[in-house]
Amino acid sequence: MDRRKQLIVFLTPLFLSTLVLASAQDDSPPCDPILLARMAASCVGYLVEPPEECCQMVVAAVGLGGDPVPCLCRVVKEPDFPATRLNIDMILKMYPVCDGIRPRHSMSSPWASSLPGDLVRLVASRLLAGDLLDYVRFRAVCAPWRSSTASPRGRGVVEPRFHPRRWALLPEGHGLYPGHPKLHGCVRFVNLDTGAFVCVRIPLFDDHCVLDSYQGLLVLQRDHDTAIRLLHPFTGDLVDLPPLSTLLPQMRDLIGLRPARRKLPYLRSFSTAATFADGVVTVLLAFYDLHRVAVATSQDHQWTMPTWYYEISCRPFPHQGKLYVVHRFGTDFLSPKIFRIDTPLPGEELQPPKMIATTADKLRGPIFFVECDSEVLVIGYGGNLFSKMLVYKLADIVMERYIPVTGIGDKAIFIQAGTTLSVSAKALPTVVGDTITCFQPMEHYLALYHLSTGSWSPAMDQCSLRGTEPGPCSLIQHIFTCCSWRHRNKGLLLHWRKYGGRGGWLRWPVKGKLRQGA
Q: Is the pLDDT of residue 299 over 90?
A: yes
Cα-Cα-Cα-Cα dihedral sign, residues 396, 397, 402, 404: positive
Least confident piece of the model among 150-164, 181-195, 350-364: 350-364
- Any idea which of 225-229, 264-268, 492-496 has the lowest mean pLDDT? 492-496
Tens of pLDDT along 384-417?
667 889 999 999 999 999 999 999 999 999 999 8
Question: What is the model's pTM?
Answer: 0.77
Supply φ then ψ for residue 462, to 5 degrees.
Answer: -70, -20
- What pLDDT was estimated at residue 25? 36
Task: Give the pLDDT confidence of 90-138 residue by residue, as tens digits.
Answer: 666 666 666 544 444 444 446 677 778 888 898 889 889 888 988 888 8
Average pLDDT over residues 347-369: 87
Is 183:191 a contact under the CB 8 Å cutoff? no
Rounded to whole angstroms, the Cα distance separating 441 from 387 reads 9
pLDDT at 78 over 70: no
Classify strands 337-342 and 322-327 as parallel, antiparallel or unpaired.
Answer: antiparallel
> CA–CA separation, 167 vs 214, rounded Å?
11
- Please tell me the distance from the alpha carbon of residue 351 to that of residue 344, in angstroms, as a whole number: 8
Question: Domains of the chain: which residue ranges?
Answer: 3-114
Cβ contact 309:291 at 8 Å? yes
Could you count the other beta carbons within 10 Å of the beta carbon of residue 443?
A: 9
The span from the CA of 159 to the CA of 162, in Å, is 6
In Å, the largest CA–CA distance within the chain is 86
Q: What is the pLDDT of residues 458-515, one digit of tens each?
A: 887 655 555 444 455 678 889 999 999 889 999 888 865 444 444 456 788 888 888 8
Could you report how far apart the first and last alpha carbons of the chain are, in Å?
38
Give the C-alpha separation, 171 to 187, whole Å.
Answer: 9
Using CA atoms, how far apart are residues 209 and 515, in angstroms rounded to an integer? Answer: 7
From CA 489, how far away is CA 267, in angstroms rounded? Answer: 16
**404 versus 30: which is more confidently predicted?**
404
Going by the DSSP 8-state scheme, the letter that residue 25 receives in this structure is H
The confidence score (pLDDT) of residue 88 equals 61
